[in-house]
Amino acid sequence: MKQKKILVGITLLLTCIFSLFVGKNTVNAASDYTGHNSWDQLTTSNGICAGIYSKKDAKLIRFQHHIFSHEKDGSTTPNYLYDAYFGYQVDNGKTVWLNNLKVDQAEYINGTNIIHSVQNHDQLTFDSYYFTPFSGTDDGSSSIMYMLVKVTNNGSSRNISLFSQQNLHLGTDYAAKDEETSYNSTNNYIKEFNAQTGSFALYKNLNSQNQLYQTGNNNQTPVNYLQSKSDLNDSIQGKGNDLVNGFENKDIQVSAGQSQWFGVEIGLREDGNENQLSQTVDSNAQIALQGSPATILQQEENWWQNWHAKERMPKDLSSQEVQTYRQSTAVLKMSQVREKSEGYGQVLASLIPGEWSIAWVRDGSYSIKALIDSGHYQEAKEALNFFLNAKMKQDSDGTNYFQKNYLESNNTSAPIYGLNTKLSSNYLLSVCRYFGDGSEDSDYNDNGPNIEFDGWGLVLWVLDDYINQTHDYSFLLNNQQVLTAQQWINRKQQIVDSANQGLTTAKQATVVAKKTYQSVKARENQVDQTTKATIKTAKGWIKRKQRIVKAAKQALRHAKTAQDKQKAQAWLTTKQAELTKELTKQKQMIDQANQQLTVAKDQLKTAKLALVKAQAKQQTANSWVKAKQAELTKEKVKQEPVIQKNIKSTNWYKITAQDADLLIELVNKQNGLIQPDSSIWEEHWTPYAVLKNAPARQQFAFTDITAWSGLQSAADMAQKLGFNASYQKYSQAASKLKASILKNLVTTEDGQQIIASSVERKGDSQRENDGSTVEAINQGLVSPNSSLAQGMIASYNKHLRIKTGSTPGFMRDQDGDLYDSREWGFIDLRVAGALAKMGDRSESKTLIDWMTSQAEHNYDLIPELLDYNTQDYAGSVPMGGFGSGSYILALNDYYK
């Protein structure tokens, strides 16, 4: 993930040899993979300051004024705290310090930054709590740390004295040289400072009952002094090296089964503003001094409960998944800078003690995605706002430094290796990461800087996700005149859309009416023909009967004898009766046929009338569309100048003109892919053609996948805003890039198609497999139901699966050094998400359960790496976007 660790050697060689005997892991039931405790340090942060509690050492070992490691170029955030811990005496006996006692339990109060440890000794239980508060008075510039302890008496009633020792290094050397201390009797706090640096700390006892205090060095430190004395002596050593201070609450009677609370508040600043820090410290201490230090703990727990109340979490999670999910969102909250500075809102890649307590664009994007998916929209918005307003490193002429000297430079020789690609604007987002003050940073080694384009696509991706889930369009069009103008256009557009829908409906109705008319007319013709035939037949039958009657009459006239006349008369009578019967019968037939014809003719008239009405409505709808389109055109003519005049001050303009447009400009004309960069694994800037191996810049699949996703996202946002020209531009660019990816990066390996790590490694089965390509499935470029998706998973299983230890997990790529070849939690969890999308829920859950089990045994924290052999936590812990963030995304993918 971060800068390469060039650690190839004996360790990896031995593990590879070992793997030949162990063989390849295959994924079995999730229960086959059980995590174990391998991490010792718990971090607390409130976005302003951070501290660390060591379970092994049973004490606080770090407290720093910033949560990031570098505030600006050339600076490093110092750890001011050597250590801090509690001690006690029972009935004025020997002093026992808790850092010398075994820690029976260490944990976070789940879903918070509150560290809780439990120790037992002398029939006493010590519940200690350490945290940097989100609750209480917070001015955004003062660092506050609480250390609280609840002492529970499990024996008979006795007097207990409780001690604390705090050893901050505030000297001129940012260590222990030339420290000064004083006591403020008015506000009841100890001050430790160095007049030359401006750094200083205030220490306030949160239980004033029977208080004593002391500062000093050597034999006068509380720990050393109490070896031969029974109490602290209210003495202050004004100056010295490595001054240490502490408090005592003497002889507090604690009955059997009862508990007593003690605590210390530590305040820290670097600007010498004692008045501001004093106000903050005193304000926060009041609820403890008026009641109990326990109230401060309860206040912080309440803050976290309220924060989690708005949290979105999938249904059906196991209890341990719930715990890890909540702690993961808490880690993201702890990782977001809240200082009153230009760096406000940035999210670090890891918290201390992790090495990557720096804000990367890429890691931050995954953190933002997790914050959005878990319902923490305000934090996501603040992080996006940081990205859109951060300051890039600039050259003397105002051009972005890396843009001018590397991207646009036509010097293609060492060490510049310029891309010779002119961009239409200064880019918006860092090519790597940010200092704590919000300015751009990139790390260098012998192969040049890291210049990465993948973050440019990822920010577009998460910004679109934020808009889709919140409908906060004012964040994009954050100029009231532009927003109002676009709203007027959108209203007119909605009317036109409605009119077009009405016209479509009218046309459909006309088509139906015409078809009905034609059908009815055909039926009327058929009935008419049938009626005529029926009448003709009926008349024929009547004529036959009439001819017979006529013949009977003639026979009667010609009869000579009475007998003949009698017979003729009888025949005539019979035939006349038959004629009458036939007339009746055929009249009914004729009447029925005529009735059917009348009905058919009436239906035809009705159908014709309906057709005429439908045609009239269509004409009206058509006229309405034309009128509304004319109004829309008129509105656009009116509002477009307003938009064009003010659009450059909006986030939409920034994210398109200085990001999406530049991605299009970075497309290599020869193969349609994004120009080579350092990409996700930070391969630095020297070209692959020069080094012939990693680490080297290449045309990485990951950068192209994220660029495609970003352009798709830009098109989606443009469509929602009604910017049709932008929608067409970005959607077409995304389509072209996708086609180029499938043409130039897809290759066949072991009879199946995969996406190669890069153009340069395509076709080399020992180098082309890379877990980061799974994002093609996760972000929708590759259909999860496709053979390509199946081939990619098969390649990960064959080439990237960890072959030693007991894990179902994956390394990140085939580069071969120890850093690459360790297990990557990010890859495990992103593969789990892809498998869930592909319907392979069993394999997906195996990976999720594995990481959940590891977290269960390691304070619900997600690491950067796991050791290749032991699966001990390694790399940076706790990890943000590449740890906690990816865990949240995996659970959301699996549980939908």
The pLDDT tens digits for 578-588 are 889 989 998 99
Who contacts 894 (Cβ-Cβ below 8 Å, separation ≥6)?
314, 832, 833, 836, 841, 844, 845, 848
Residue 743 half-sphere exposure toward CB, CA atoms < 13 A: 10
CB 358 within 8 A of CB 880: no
3 state SS of 368? helix
State the average pLDDT over residues 106-113: 98
The pLDDT value given to residue 333:
98
Q: Which residue has the tokens 């479509």?
A: 504
Tell me the pLDDT band of 247, cut-offs 50, 70 and 90: very high
The pLDDT value given to residue 507:
96
Rounded-to-integer distance, Cα 179 and Cα 43, Å: 27
Could you tell me which of 880, 875, 860, 876 has the C-alpha nearest to residue 336?
880
Chain centroid, CA 173 distance in Å: 41
Angle (CA) 7-886-834 rounded to 5° is 100
First to last CA, the chain: 27
Angle at which helix 319-334 crosses helix 841-856, to 10 degrees, equals: 70
CB 375 within 8 A of CB 311: yes
The pLDDT value given to residue 804:
87
Could you tell me which of 175, 201, 198 has the C-alpha nearest to residue 190?
201
Q: Return the structure tokens found at 20.
A: 């030949």
Phi, then psi, of 351 in degrees rounded to 5: -90, 160
Phi-psi region of 684 (alpha: psi -120 to 50; beta: other; left: phi over 0): left
The pLDDT value given to residue 27:
41
- pLDDT tens-place string over residues 189-220: 999 998 888 899 999 999 989 999 999 999 99
Q: Return the structure tokens found at 223.
A: 């720990």
CB 384 within 8 A of CB 466: yes
The percent of residues in the chain predicted with pLDDT above 70, rounded, is 96
DSSP string, 590-611: HHHHHHHHHHHHHHHHHHHHHH
State the average pLDDT over residues 241-245: 96
Angle at which helix 294-309 crosses helix 274-290, to 10 degrees, equals: 100
Phi, then psi, of 797 in degrees rounded to 5: -60, -40
- pLDDT tens-place string over residues 135-168: 998 888 999 999 999 999 999 999 999 999 999 9
Rounded-to-integer distance, Cα 418 and Cα 838, Å: 41
Angle (CA) 859-146-302 rounded to 5° is 70
- pLDDT tens-place string over residues 218-236: 999 999 999 988 899 999 9
> Residue 43: pLDDT above 90?
yes
> Residue 65: pLDDT above 60?
yes
Average pLDDT, the chain: 93
State the average pLDDT over residues 786-796: 98
CB 184 within 8 A of CB 267: no
> Residue 839: pLDDT above 60?
yes
State the average pLDDT over residues 99-116: 97
> Residue 3: pLDDT above 90?
no
Angle at which helix 454-470 crosses helix 377-389, to 10 degrees, equals: 140
Phi, then psi, of 458 in degrees rounded to 5: -65, -40
Q: What is residue 675's DSSP assignment? A: P
pTM comes to: 0.86
3 state SS of 285? helix
What is the helix (H) or strand (E) element at residue 352, kind and residue range?
Answer: none
Q: Return the structure tokens found at 278.
A: 């004093």
CB 381 within 8 A of CB 471: no
CB 52 within 8 A of CB 60: yes
Q: Return the structure tokens found at 833.
A: 């998400």
The pLDDT value given to residue 9:
38
Burial 233-251 (b: 16+ CB within 10 A, else e): eeebbeebebbbbbbbbbe
The pLDDT value given to residue 490:
87
CB 270 within 8 A of CB 142: no
Neighbours of 626 (CB within 10 A): 12
Bridge partner list, 90 = 160
State the average pLDDT over residues 615-636: 95
Tell me the pLDDT band of 2, cut-offs 50, 70 and 90: low
Phi, then psi, of 174 in degrees rounded to 5: 55, 30
CB 39 within 8 A of CB 863: yes
CB 463 within 8 A of CB 710: no
What is the helix (H) or strand (E) element at residue 64, kind and residue range?
Answer: strand 59-64
State the average pLDDT over residues 750-779: 96
Rounded-to-integer distance, Cα 81 and Cα 236, Å: 19
Bridge partner list, 747 = 754
State the average pLDDT over residues 423-452: 97
SS3 sequence of 633-647: HHHHHHHHHHHHHHH
The pLDDT value given to residue 175:
87
Examine residue 222 and say whether the peptide bond preceding it is cis (omega within 30 degrees of 0): no
CB 388 within 8 A of CB 361: no
Strand ranges inside 649-781, DSSP E: 746-749, 752-755
Rounded-to-integer distance, Cα 795 and Cα 748, Å: 10
Burial class (CB in 10 A: 0-12, 13-18, 19+), 716: buried
The pLDDT value given to residue 1:
52
Give the pairing of strands 865-866 and 96-97: unpaired
The percent of residues in the chain predicted with pLDDT above 90, rounded, is 87
State the average pLDDT over residues 79-97: 96
Examine residue 449 and say whether the peptide bond preceding it is cis (omega within 30 degrees of 0): no
